[in-house]
Every structure is written in structure tokens, then in C-alpha cells.
Structure 1
Amino acid sequence: MPEIQDFRIVQDFDTVPAFDVVAPAVQRAPFVFNSPHSGRCYPAAFLAASRLGNPAIRRSEDGYVDDLFRPVVELGVPLMRAHFPRAFLDVNREPYELDPKMFTGRLPAFANVRSPRVAGGLGTIARIVADAEEIYAGPLDVEDALQRIEAFYKPYHATLGALIARTRASFGTAVLIDCHSMPSSVRGQDPRIRPDMIIGDRHGTSCDPAISETATDILSDLGFIVARNRPYAGGFITEHYGRPAEGIHALQIEVNRSLYMDERRCRPTASLAGLSCLLTRFAAELMARFGYGRDDGSLSPLAAE
């Protein structure tokens, strides 16, 4: 496994990429993996505007999910990953889910200011980190928010959309696996019933049910406790890109952080490498059933539709 990069403070994203695509020399299956919330490069100006320090500011990260899934590239499929943090900008939202109370200046008339995610403080520009702590010491200039959307959100989705479109054109179908992690416990819930993995398909609307069922079965066979769609059915990315009738399927996977992280310190544990191996086996089995076979290059029934 490549060396794991930790928390970084950056002056801007001119010398450090805001996101990238790790791709094989030749794509061998109609799968695209995406890690939109694992970014650990924090702009200095963003930290200066925040009232939170490290590790509190990192509690919204899907920490090290990009490292968990990095080996899928060796199976012949691309992995896209954000380097900017979710607390700075959340690409798993509509482009303009914004809370007007956060900003000085007027939001555009087309902004979605009344979504449940905005009300909960977790819009495109989040007001809080995952444990409900306020991020900012004071209001932001609305132009700052709009610039983040133009400079990072729109290019991210343009790249992801093009990656999916090329996969669909090459293979006749595309399967997006949107990779996330979840805290091991949530305030007010019994931690004993928190599953190891949650598969989300927007309650059967974002991908062929056979993919969701097979993903659940494979993970269960690997020894994980798996749930479907509760409490995470998939966010904007799953909903926006999943169009099964057009041969584009989107599936979200949530990994329990206690399996590979010290959640309090936001640090990976020694378990990360072993979990990554199991998730690579999961990906290989799923691709073998719904993509090009790894041995003879033959198409599975789904890819041939």
C-alpha cells in the first residue's frame, strides 16, 4: 500500500491538486470508484476563518477512505479522490445548497436555501462539522462561497461526469461506487447495532437491485455486518449519477470508522491494511460478476445489456 498522507495545511491549490484521478494504464471493467470526502489538505485561509482546531475541524472527514480503496486501481479501474476537505466544500450536495445566515451579501436567487441538509448545517458550504460544532468564527463573504463552487465543485463534477461517460461509452454500462465512512456511534443511538457497512442505492432507484444485493452478499460473506439504505441511502452523487435505465448505476458504501481508525485522534490504525485487502476482494468479486471477467475478458450479462 502506498504511504498514507496525513493532515496538511496548504496555502492554495495551485501547487497541490484539489482532486485527482488515480487510473490504471488500461481500464478493464466498467467501474468507477469515487472518494469525495476523504480530503486532508486544509487551506490556511479556511483554517484562519474557523473557530476549530485540529482534530475538531476534521470530524467531517471520511478519513483515509481513499487509502482503503486505493488498491482497486490495480484491478484495472479508476479512483477519483478529493484533496480539499468536506468541511471546506461538500461535493456530495447540490451545487448551491447554501444557508443565507452564514454569509454577508445576497445569495443567488437559484440557491436552495431550504433543503433539509441546509437546515441541518451540512450544505454545500457546511456550517458545522459532523458533531454539530460550528465551523466559522464569523460570517463569510458570499463571494467566497461562490468562488469555492466555481473553482472546485464544478470542476470536480465535470471530471467525475466525464469519467463515468467515458466508461459508459467504452463498456456499454458504468457502475459508480461512491465511497464513504461513518462514525461508529451516533448520539442518541445504541452503538451496539451500528453495522460495519451500509450499502445505499436510494432505495432501489440509483442502480440495478442485483448490484446492491450482490454487494451486500459479498460483504456479508467476508464477515461484515451489512445494512441497506439505513441510515444512509446515498447522497447527491448517488442520486444525480445513478440512471439505471441509461446503463449508469450508482452505489454508495459506508464503512464503519472503528474498523480502521482511532476516531478521537483522526488517525488510521494498524487495521487499515487488512480492511483494505478485504475491500479489494469485495471490489474484485463485484467486478467479476458485473463487468469484464479478469481471466478471459468476456462480458457479464449486465455489461452486455
Structure 2
Amino acid sequence: MKSYHLTQGTAPILISLPHIGTRLTDEIREQLTDDAKYLPDTDWHLGEIYDFFSEIGASIITPIYSRYVIDLNRSNQNENLYPGKNSTGLCPATTFMGAPLYKDASILTEGEIQSRIYDFWTPYHQALQDELNRLKSIHRHVLLWEGHSIASELPFLFEGQLPAFNFGTADGKSCDGRVLASVLDMAKELSLDYVANQRFKGGFITRNYGSPENNIHAIQLEMSQRIYMSEQFPYALNSTLAPSVKRTLKLLIEAAQQSLSII
């Protein structure tokens, strides 16, 4: 069963979009609540927003299945990314609003979770690791760009309105500081509404694969959906705002790439 798409590029860049999948298995769809079937916590339209990847020679990896099947940005050991704060797990039982996903959450047995890890989580992570290894065999330094988006107001997860651009490097552990600095310099030049390493510091992929001592530099960008789409169902792309966001993302990633040559 194919669970992801990978397109290989030639530049030292791998873009990972682990939450854009929308497919459900028939069994899981039947078990979800009616509201959950709308997949409100999907990173809507990011595949379109990042479709410039081929212009810059980047590789890109994307899942086919929804994060409600399994969250690829969580450890397969299901550790809490943000201890003391509300979060969702490896196989989520609630939405980002805190509402139940399942008519009966008891279906998330250990056997069910292990089956989803085998079918969906492991293939994605093996492909991601293999692609990083391939790029490392060609380039001295590699950039892993973790692309995410989220509703700008989610009281279950954070207070107030989220800034437009939220960069995370696991408090500086997942990439060389000069790489992040180049991105933030570009963010300043573009007068973006941004923060770094605040509420969203980077998920499992950023923390696990980002290894500046091994020349792999991981940055997560959690982008507020209000800047490119409607945050209400049916979550339509804003064709007026989206082109500018695309150009911005391309400039940010290119700034990060350019910094790799000075490390």
C-alpha cells in the first residue's frame, strides 16, 4: 500500500509536508465522528503553496493519508512534544479544538496503533531518512524544511492569535544558528509577522533528523492559515493572498540554502 509521494531533486533541500494527506481507510472513516470526517486539522493547500519546489531543485516528500490515521510528526513512542501543554498524539483521539475524533476511542488499541505505525509511519520515515542520506552523499550540508500550517486561533493549544510565521529549530538544536539567522534576516527584510522557537519549536521530524553536527539543518515553519486561505469549512484557498505567500516561502528557503555555503 503506497502511503507517500517522494520527488527527488538535485539541490541540498528536502521539503517535508507531513500533514497534507487527506485519505482515510474505509475502516477509520467509519469510526470517525461526523465533524472529524471534514479533516479540520489538515495542513490544507500546502502542496499548492510549495509547488515551487522543482524551481529550486528541492526534493519533496508528502503523505497520502490524513494525520488522523497517524501523525507523522510524532515519535512512534508517542512522547509528548510539549510537556505541560495540550497536544495531540501519534494516533490522535481529539481534534485541535479538543473534540473527540472517534465515536468510540477504545478502538485505538495497542494493536491498532502498531498496525498504523507499520503501514504508514515507518514507510514515510524510512523514505525521509533515505532521501536525506542521498542528498548528504551529494552535498556537504543539507536543509530539511518542515512545512506546516494551522488555524490562527486554537484555544485548546495556545492563547490568542498565532503569528503568521512560526519558525522552530528545537531551541537551536536542529540547525546551525547561521542558517536560522539567514531565514530570520529575510523575514525582517520582508516585514513578516514572525517568531522563532516560541509556542512551536519543531515537532518530531525537526528534532529527530535535524543534526547540525552531521550537517543536516532542520527548520520547521508553522504558518498561520489566515494568511493564505479561509479557516472555515470548506477551507478554500485565497487566490489573492496565496501567490505572495508562495514567493515569500521561496525567498525564505533560498536564504537558508545560501547560508549553507558559509557554514
Distance 2:24 2:84 in 1: 22
Structure 2 residue runs without a partner (length 5+): none
1:79 to 60, 63, 68: 60
Report the Cα distance in structure 2 between the residues aligned to 1:217 and 1:49, rounded to whole angstroms.
Answer: 46
Q: CA RMSD in A?
A: 2.1
CA deviation profile, 1:197-229 (whole Å, cap 9, x unmatched): 011011111110111111111122223111011
Distance (whole Å) between structure 2 residues aligned to residue 225 and residue 116 of structure 1: 23
Quote the residue 1:219 is aligned against: 187
Specify the code of the residue in structure 2 equivalent to 1:177: W
Quote the Cα distance in structure 2 between the aligned partners of 1:35 and 1:165: 18
Q: Which of 205-214 and 261-270 deviates more? A: 261-270
Query: What SS class does the counterpart of residue 267 from structure 1 fall into?
Result: coil
Counterpart of 1:79 in structure 2: which amino acid?
I
The answer to whether the 8 A contact 1:46-1:88 is kept is yes
* Aligned pairs (5 A) from 1:213-292: 213-265=181-233, 266-270=235-239, 271-290=241-260
Paired residues, what number? 257
- Select the residue among 173, 193, 206 that pairs with 1:205: 173
1:19 paired to 2:1: no
Residues of 2 paired with 1:48 and 1:166: CA distance? 39
Task: Show structure 1 runs of 4+ deviating over 4 A.
Answer: 114-121
* Counterpart code for 1:275: V
Shift of 1:163: 0.6
Q: Is the 8 A contact 1:57 1:135 kept in 2?
A: no
Equivalent of residue 178 in structure 1, options 146, 158, 163: 146
**What's the offset of the Cα at 1:119?**
8.7
Is the contact between residue 89 and residue 125 of structure 1 (CA under 8 Å) also seen in structure 2? yes
Distance 2:154 2:192 in 1: 19
Aligned pairs (5 A) from 1:1-305: 14=1, 17-24=2-9, 27=10, 29-53=11-35, 57-97=38-78, 120=86, 122-138=88-104, 139-140=106-107, 141-187=109-155, 189-191=159-161, 194-265=162-233, 266-270=235-239, 271-290=241-260, 300-302=261-263
Distance (whole Å) between structure 2 residues aligned to residue 64 and residue 249 of structure 1: 25
State the secondary structure of the residue aligned to 1:21.
Answer: strand
Q: Bigger radius of gyration, 1 or 2?
A: 1
- Tell me the SS of whatever aligns to 2:174: coil
Aligned-pair identity (%):
21
Question: CA 1:119 to 1:127, structure 2 compared with 1: closer, same or farther past 3 Å?
Answer: farther
